[in-house]
Structures are given as structure tokens and as C-alpha cells.
Amino acid sequence: MKLRRSMLYVPGNAPAMLRDAHIYSPDSVMFDLEDSVSPREKDAARHLVFQALKHYDYAGVERIVRINGLDTPYGLEDIAAVVCGGVDAVRLPKTDGPEDILAVEQAVAAAERRFGRPTGSVKLIAAIESARGILAVRDIAVASPRLIAIAIGAEDFVTDMHTSRSPDGVELLTARSMLVMAARAAGIMAIDTVFSSVDDEEGFQREVRLAKQLGFDGKSVIHPSQIAMVHAIYAPTTEEVAKARRVIAAAADAEAKGSGVIALDGKMIDKPIVERAMRVLALAGEVDA
Amino acid sequence: MNIEHDASSGTQESGDARVMVRPNAGKGLSLELLGPSTARYGEEIRTVVLATLESLGVSDASVLIEEKGALDATIRARLSAACGRAADGGSMPWETMR
């Protein structure tokens, strides 16, 4: 498990950006072969991303590739290239149902066999961008043991819903809530959508706070300047960290004594509080997530 | 992989390379390098290009590379894309590619 507070989109057809993507310290980089690449450059972007995966050192930053859907002429070759290149996770766009995940899983498994990678080593992320997808999100979230996260893609979703994005995001509230709930029930992560107005820092931070409050584990970002803002909002306060340390210490103490009851300052500590404390320490970088 | 017709890939932006390949049936490989790094790194680039062509199974081609400070990985990617286009598509031999 790892933190995925920030997933930085990098257009697949931009050699310099592919090389430098990790220097801004996102939790994950996400090379894009889909919407940011024109149809006539799909092959060229695929080659650049293949080379980047194979030869660049991203200093441990997770490498995700957003492929084209399997309903396009590019999807299968995208999977072959990125699995051979050594990708950590494949992000599938426009997931409408569990059958989309199963089809990608089959293609990824075939690529793992073809290129001699261990079965199951390539993880999956499903982006949900339609009303149909949101209504199927419970089934999507449990469609494959390879799934590590589900994400919402807002621009296509609001278009599908015959609406548009607003500053308070009311049009996305139900979809976001359903997606987070499905992720929690499946034991995987939930990733929020991009915020496209790079210059509107206030609006961006408001949206990150909302996503965090709803339970999202992180956000897809389109500009390096957004990474530090996301991390700052997800960072626990000094008080939260201090309290979490005490909770964990009390839990360790109880375990050492063989006691099933954890007490702190004369109060009983429940298991969910210990779990929350662990998450606080993970976000503070003190323990593995 | 056979080079069937002229094809190109890449841009002339900084950090990139523009690669053009042409059929050269039965005449082996011919390579021309242009760009700011060729005086100093020409031999290294030539080695990268020849290794890439070998990994693609291209034995007859005329290749022109205009590089603008591209890293080896970018040159490999642009050359592979140009060859793929010149060979009229199909799946690439990813497992043999460097």
C-alpha cells in the first residue's frame, strides 16, 4: 500500500515532460495516451511512454499509464507496450461496467505472459466518467483483484448528465459519494477528478478539501503546481499527529500486555480510532500507508 | 520489419528529434545525423540508432535524424515510431525492442 494523494497527468507525446515528471514529487505520475494525444500521434506517444518506462528512473514514484479504451484501435497495443515497458498500473478510461475491467484484465494477463512478467504484477485503476458507470460502480470496484483504485472523471460525467461543473460541485456530489462508498466497500482507493483552471488556486484548494472530506484518497492533477497544495491539505496537523502517536502507543501497550482493551487518558479506544490514527501517521509519512 | 515507404516521426522542439526513414532495399543502412549534439555525441547517437534498427529487425533503410538535444530514449522512440509507420503498422516487436 502507498499514498496516492496526487496523480500527475503527463501527456504521452511530450518527451521533456515525460523525463521530468517525477521531480515535483507527486505520489504517482500518470502518462496519458488517451485524450491528450491526437489520433495521428497515438503510435508516437506509445513509443515515448514505452521508452520512458523502460529507461528513465522515476526514483520510486509510481508509474501509471492511461491507455485508450479497448473499443478503439489503440487499446490492445497500448497494453502490450506499457506492460512490456514495466508499468506499475494501467488506468482504463470511460469504464461503464465490470465487463470493461474484465476485458482489460484479460489483455493485461496475456501481456504479462507474453513478456514474462509475474501474473498479477500489473495493477488496474478504473476511471468512471458516465451515469452508467456510476450506477455500476459497486460492481466495477470488485471486478478484479488487480484494481487498486477507482477514479471519477468529471468532464465527461457532467456532459453525460446534461449539466456543467460549478464551483461548489453540487452536480458531482452524488457521484463522488457513491464512488467513495464503493471504493471503501471494496477496500480500494478513491481518486478525485482533475481541476482544470490551473490559475484558480483558491477554487482548486476548495475542491481538494471537499474531496478529502468526502473520503477521497487523492486527486488527479494536471499541473505540478497543484501537487504541493494537495499534499498540504492532506497533511495532518501537528496536534493530529501527536494524538495519533499516543493512540498507536496505547494500542501497542495493550497488545504487549495481552489486553484486548485499549485505554487512553481514561477512555476506551475503539478499533476504528486506531485505524484512523494509523492513517494520520501514514499521511504524515511516519509509517507505511 | 521492412521499410515500405517514406515516413517520419517527432518534432523539432528542444529536447526532441525529427526522424525520417526511407526504403533502401538491398542496400543496407544509411544514416545521416544533423543537430547541435552531433559533433560531440555523433558516435553515441549512431550506436543508439543502429542498435534500435537491429532490435526492430530493420536491415535496409535510409535514416535522417535532426536532433535538438534529444535523450537516447527519445531518439529510440522517434526512430521506432517512424519505422512502424514506414512498415505500415501492425504490432511492434516490443519484447525485442531496447
8 Å CB contact of B92 and A51: no
**What is the spatial distance between Cα B87 and Cα B90, in angstroms, rounded to a whole number?**
8
Quick one: cell of A26? 507527486
Min distance B51 CA to chain A CA atoms (Å): 14
Q: What is the DSSP string of B17-80?
A: EEEEEE--TTS-EEEEEESTTHHHHHHHHHHHHHHHHHHHT--SEEEEEEESS--HHHHHHHHH
8 Å CB contact of A43 and B16: no
- The reply to whether B91 touches chain A by the CB within 8 Å rule is yes
pLDDT of residue A1 exceeding 80 = no
Cell numbers 501497542: residue: A252
Min distance A116 CA to chain B CA atoms (Å): 9
What is the domain-level CATH number for residue B23?
3.30.230.10
Q: Is residue B36 part of a domain?
A: yes
Q: Is residue B1 part of a domain?
A: no
Q: Is residue B65 part of a domain?
A: yes
C-alpha of A106 from chain center: 21
Per-residue 3-state assignment (H helix, E strand, C coil) for chain A: CCCCCEEEEEECCCHHHHHHHHHHCCCEEEEECCCCCCHHHHHHHHHHHHHHHHHCCCCCCEEEEECCCCCCCCHHHHHHHHHHHCCCEEEECCCCCHHHHHHHHHHHHHHHHHHCCCCCCCEEEEEECCHHHHHCHHHHHCCCCCEEEEEECHHHHHHHCCCCCCCCCHHHHHHHHHHHHHHHHHCCEEEECCCCCCCCHHHHHHHHHHHHHHCCCEEEECCCHHHHHHHHHHCCCHHHHHHHHHHHHHHHHHHHCCCCCEEECCEEECHHHHHHHHHHHHHCCCCCC
Interface probe, candidates A40, A47, A82, A87, chain B, greatest B C-beta count within 10 A: A47
Give residue-wise pLDDT tens across range A235-286: 999 999 999 999 999 998 888 888 878 888 888 888 889 999 999 999 998 8
8 Å CB contact of A15 and B81: no
Q: Is residue B94 part of a domain?
A: no
Give residue-wise pLDDT tens across range A187-230: 999 999 999 899 999 999 999 999 999 999 999 999 999 999 99
**Domain containing B16: what range?**
7-85
8 Å CB contact of A51 and B85: no
Confidence of residue B89 (pLDDT cuts 50, 70, 90): low
The number of folded domains in chain B is 1
Quick one: cell of A132? 452508467
8 Å CB contact of A52 and B97: no
Q: Is residue B63 part of a domain?
A: yes
Min distance B21 CA to chain A CA atoms (Å): 14
Q: Is residue B97 part of a domain?
A: no
Option in B16, B80, B94 nearest A15 (CB): B16
8 Å CB contact of A19 and B15: yes
Residue B37 C-beta-side C-alpha neighbours within 13 Å:
18
- The reply to whether A81 touches chain B by the CB within 8 Å rule is yes
Q: For each of the domains in chain A, give its residue range(s) and CATH number, in order of start.
A: 6-234 (3.20.20.60), 238-283 (no CATH)
- Among the ranges given (A25-39, A88-102, B79-93), the one the predictor scored with the smallest mean pLDDT: B79-93
Min distance B85 CA to chain A CA atoms (Å): 9
Residues of A in contact with B10 (CB under 8 A): 44
C-alpha of A284 from chain center: 18
Give residue-wise pLDDT tens across range A100-156: 999 999 999 999 999 999 999 999 999 999 999 999 999 999 999 999 999 999 999
Asked if the interface predicted TM-score (ipTM) of this complex is over 0.90, the answer is yes
Give residue-wise pLDDT tens across range B13-42: 999 999 999 999 899 999 999 988 888 888
Confidence of residue B62 (pLDDT cuts 50, 70, 90): very high
Which pLDDT score, from 0 to 100, does residue B91 have? 84
Q: Is residue B77 part of a domain?
A: yes
